[in-house]
Structure 1
Amino acid sequence: MNAAPLLEARGLVIRRGTRVTLDTLDLRVCAGSVYALLGGNGAGKTTTLNALLGFVPAAAGQALVDGIDATLDPQAARARLAYLPENVALYSYLTGIENLQYFCALSGLRITSGEAGALLESAGLAFEAHARRVGGYSKGMRQKVGLAIAKARRARAMLLDEPTSGLDPAAANEFARSVLAARDAGMAILMATHDLFNALQVADRIGILREGRLVAELDARDVAHEELERIYLRHASDAEETAS
């Protein structure tokens, strides 16, 4: 018997005015798995994340987080989620430890500096950076603080929006290891990305969105980079021909 998904779009339709931005989307992400959602700009990747966060209401269907309808009860849905945007917003004048303690406090969690340090270390942030002000952090280091915040909140599921955008190869590889560690700890992870290599590196399932529709879904173990690139470019080309 298959496990119930922690993240699910079920016949999900999102409209902005007269425009359909998600068209009858169906996808499932279970505990201990990573789903990479690929697509060009405007394909609907970020809209999918925003629907699960309850920021945009469903016109039809459901966006479900651990069985909770994010349109009907967005606060309860968000309470079960960790969200890592493309650019993690942290307080530049606070240290890594202080940022982590502050954001935990906003969620009603009190952690010691020692506990904060252990969480930052588990997210891959070097010890010598813990007590430095975040204003001097690279983007990759900020992403690690974001992952530490997600771990501290003990969220069951995590949404990642273009997490490797702007990272150098070494930082992207480190981030991939952190995502895999979160997956192995039982978290369900949905990642919106343009990065085909990163998708293959961390994902169990890969979906390709085009104009709000899921046009392909693949098992990452069964596809090589060249084949994924070919499939992705074919759908991108189809979208351009349709637009013209």
Structure 2
Amino acid sequence: MLEAKNLNKSFSEKQVINDLSFKVEQGEIMCLLGANGAGKSTTLNIFLNFLQPDSGQALIDGVNVHSSSGSKEKLVYLPEQVNLYQEFNAIDNLKYLASLSGLTVSEAQINAALDETGLEPGARSQSLKNYSKGMRQKVGIAFAIIREAKVLLLDEPTSGLDPSATLEFIRIVEQLAKKGAAILMVTHDFYCAHTLADKIGIMDKGTLLTLLDNKQLPLNTLENTYHELISGKSAIREAS
């Protein structure tokens, strides 16, 4: 459903994505784990067609996102800070977003989507300026439910969330995957990646160092593997 094929991207002769390849199948969750500057967000921006790769392909359901606008109809993007209309309430925001996507939805459908995210009914008539980050995220995810998104791109979604909100976020995303969405998340959060992902890619300086099967992978093994790979690559760069 989501595939990077030998992606490369440079800015001012600095390589920020280096021959990146991976696949995310329907119903699968993949996390890209890495520090700032690893190339994680650049990867998302290529899939969103905000950036053109220098070479390689970004495919959604087999369609090159840079040669067809139809791929955008299948995805929803949830940035670190969900930018919605602060003076609108949750229901009005979702009505407006749906209309921009050419969808006609009833208030009952909107409330059903919000029910799935766990947003309290009493909060839905309040303006979003009173919402926490976790509550705004639930509105964004409700839009993915309404859109019946086949692909969900998440950029540092748990940054700034407390542990309870993080667990709630994980539960919601797991449900979307069970419905068949292919989900790509970029994060610094070892715990969230370990709890949520089917597979985890460790990135550094634009290179995918390894792709781990997360099934029955202990959290301490993930952390140790990450630090060993990153420190090992840093030592190689210093020596050269």
Mapped pair 1:197 → 2:191: yes
1:186 is paired with a residue of what secondary structure?
Answer: coil
Residue matched to 1:38: 33
Q: 1:158 aligns with which of 152, 155, 170?
A: 152
For the residues of structure 1 that align with 2:3 and 2:191, how far apart are their CA atoms?
Answer: 24
Deviations 1:126-157 (A, max 9, x none): 11111111110100000010000111111111
Which of 95, 103, 106 is the aligned partner of 2:100?
106
1:161 and 1:239 map into 2 onto residues whose CA distance is 25
Deviates more, 1:87-96 or 1:112-121: 112-121
Q: CA deviation at 1:242?
A: 4.6
Alignment of 1:43-82 (within 5 A): 43-73=38-68, 75-82=69-76
User: Following the alignment from structure 2 to structure 1, what is the Cα–Cα distance between the partners of residues 74 and 196?
Assistant: 22
Establish whether residue 172 from structure 1 lines up as the match of residue 166 from structure 2. yes
Unpaired stretches in structure 1, ≥5 consecutive residues: 1-5
The DSSP-based 3-state class of the residue aligned with 2:167 is: helix
- Alignment deviations for residues 185-215 of structure 1 (CA, whole Å, 9 cap, x no partner): 0100000011111011110011001111110
- Structure 1 residues 243 and 129, CA, compared in 2 at 3 Å: closer, same or farther? farther
Q: Residue 116 of structure 2 aligns with which residue?
A: 122
- Percent identity over the alignment is 42
1:113, distance to aligned residue in structure 2 (A): 1.7
Q: Which moved more, 1:190-199 or 1:16-25?
A: 16-25
1:229: which partner in 2?
Answer: 223
CA distance in 2, matches of 1:183, 1:133: 29
With normalisation by structure 1, the TM-score equals 0.94
Mapped contact 1:52–1:77 kept (Cα < 8 A): no
The number of residues matched between the two structures is 238
What residue in structure 1 maps to residue 203 of structure 2?
Answer: 209
Q: Distance in 2 between matches of 1:183 and 1:87?
A: 22
Residues in 2 aligned to 1:31 and 1:235: alpha-carbon distance in whole angstroms? 29
Contact 1:40 1:236 (8 Å CA) reproduced:
no
Distance (whole Å) between structure 2 residues aligned to residue 26 and residue 184 of structure 1? 24
Query: Which portions of structure 1, spanning 4 or more consecutive aligned residues, are displaced by more than 4 angstroms?
Result: none
Distance 1:181 1:131 in 2: 25
Structure 1 residue 239: Cα displacement: 4.3
- Partner Cα separation in structure 2 for residue 169 and residue 239 of structure 1: 32
3-state SS of paired residue (1:151):
helix
In structure 2, how many angstroms separate the alpha carbons of the residues matched to 1:179 and 1:29?
Answer: 15
Q: Distance in 1 between matches of 2:65 and 2:15?
A: 19
